[in-house]
């Protein structure tokens, strides 16, 4: 673990070949300035703009965003080190998937062109233990996991950060579209949404602690995806038109069901599909093949469509109902992390997001008991899915988040 596979000790500015060669020197400040967008929070200072000439380790996946994060920090005067995380065996990876061998090659090429040191760290054992195993266990217990949150928390903000400190870098940076600001009045670091609302990734970052927030940079948080891509194209970077991965990076052929069955040794238990009254409507080949809200693939003939309402691990049953049965008046979340260090006041109105692509739901904070939080929706909401993240917002600020245990 932590094996250094490649290292390119280039230094200084490096010219990148382009149709406009007179504009594209990295390490010489010829990058256009993208000013940070105005924040609705007064008296805050955004991280990453006033601490130049310090060392930062940038997580470089080989894609556009992480590459541009490194480019912009180098242009801003930081001493940048690039790092790529090898997370799983290559025979499990889609050829063009995120963190594939081609991505590692692209990351190394970009680091070499920028003239920065570059490391590949072998985190395969840790990734299997901290991300893949919980992913498989969650599905097998009838929950729908979010591995991206675990990867950010355990691989980037813990393990990669420890490697950064070993390399003398007090900061790490990623290509996430989110912002971190320091509020002197509160004496706290704040996690804020990215300016580009279509790309905002603050949902995946709710596990950040104050210590981690104070040593993490998100150079793209005040920029739009279109602007970042346009800048990369203008500079002639070969990854400017590289597509984004939309699937779970470690799932071959984007079929998690086969992956879970293989990892579990084919030990899925067949069971019953029942309605809310317990009437048997059909059979299933394992509850890991279903998720709350699912309509297709149930194998049930009926005049009205059925939806998965809940999954019962103990009885190994898939419970289905009509669309209206998916509605809930609130949720209970566990493992809640309050980024600011303390929860909001009980009865405070917050916004909660229960899936990355879902709209925020207006809710009232009913109770906080340790790491367990109960919220009541102002209006009923559908498909509250155990295992997914519930993230709480106040305007642009991420207050915290946790894992959905059940809908109420």
Catalytic (active-site) positions: 151, 249
Distance separating alpha carbons of residues 322 and 275, to the nearest angstrom: 9
What is the number of residues in the chain?
Answer: 408
Q: Are 208 and 157 in contact (CB under 8 A)?
A: yes
Q: Which residue has the tokens 């909401």?
A: 381
Report the alpha-carbon distance of residue 355 to residue 208 in Å, rounded.
18
Residue carrying the six token digits 């509250």: 384
Look up residue 347 and give its DSSP letter. Answer: T
Helices 101-114, 64-75: inter-axial angle, 10-degree rounding: 20
Q: Long-range CB contacts (< 8 A, 24+ apart) of 146-152?
A: 146/204, 146/356, 146/387, 146/388, 146/389, 147/248, 147/250, 148/204, 148/248, 149/204, 149/206, 149/207, 149/389, 151/87, 151/127, 152/204, 152/205, 152/207
- Judge contact between 53 and 30, C-beta under 8 A: no
Structure-block tokens of residue 337? 């992390």
> What would the two tokens of residue 245 be?
């991965």
């Amino acid at each position: 673990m932590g094996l250094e596979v490649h290292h390119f000790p280039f230094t200084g500015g490096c010219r990148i070949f382009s149709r406009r060669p007179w504009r594209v020197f990295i390490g010489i400040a010829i990058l256009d300035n993208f000013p940070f967008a105005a924040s609705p929070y007064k008296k805050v200072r955004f991280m990453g703009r006033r601490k130049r000439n310090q060392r930062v380790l940038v997580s470089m996946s080989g894609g556009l965003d992480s590459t541009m994060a490194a480019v912009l920090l180098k242009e801003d005067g930081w001493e940048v080190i690039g790092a790529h995380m090898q997370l799983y065996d290559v025979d499990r990876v889609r050829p063009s998937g995120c963190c594939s061998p081609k991505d590692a090659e692209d990351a190394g090429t970009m680091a070499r062109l920028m003239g920065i040191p570059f490391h590949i760290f072998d985190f395969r054992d840790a990734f299997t233990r901290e991300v893949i195993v919980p992913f498989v266990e969650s599905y097998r217990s009838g929950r729908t996991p979010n591995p991206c949150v675990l990867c950010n928390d355990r691989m980037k903000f813990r393990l990669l950060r420890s490697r950064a400190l070993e390399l003398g870098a007090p900061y790490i940076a990623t290509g996430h579209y989110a912002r971190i600001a320091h509020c002197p009045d509160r004496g706290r670091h704040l996690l804020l949404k990215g300016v580009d609302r279509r790309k905002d990734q603050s949902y995946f970052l709710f596990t950040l602690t104050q210590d981690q927030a104070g040593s993490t940079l998100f150079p793209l948080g005040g920029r739009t995806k279109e602007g970042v891509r346009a800048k990369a194209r203008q500079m002639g970077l070969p990854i400017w038109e590289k597509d984004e991965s939309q699937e779970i990076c470690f799932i071959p052929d984007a079929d998690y069901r086969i992956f879970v069955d293989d990892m579990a040794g084919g030990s899925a238990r067949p069971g019953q599909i029942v309605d809310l009254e317990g009437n048997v409507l059909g059979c299933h080949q394992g509850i890991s093949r279903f998720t709350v809200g699912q309509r297709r693939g149930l194998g049930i003939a009926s005049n009205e469509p059925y939806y998965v309402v809940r999954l019962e691990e103990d009885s190994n049953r898939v419970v289905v109902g009509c669309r209206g049965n998916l509605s809930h008046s609130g949720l209970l979340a566990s493992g809640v992390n309050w980024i600011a260090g303390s929860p909001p006041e009980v009865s405070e109105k917050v916004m909660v997001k229960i899936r990355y692509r879902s709209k925020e739901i207006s809710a009232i904070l009913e109770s906080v008991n340790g790491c367990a939080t109960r919220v009541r929706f102002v209006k009923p909401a559908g498909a509250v899915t155990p295992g997914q993240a519930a993230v709480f917002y106040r305007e642009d600020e991420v207050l915290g988040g946790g894992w959905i245990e059940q809908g109420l």
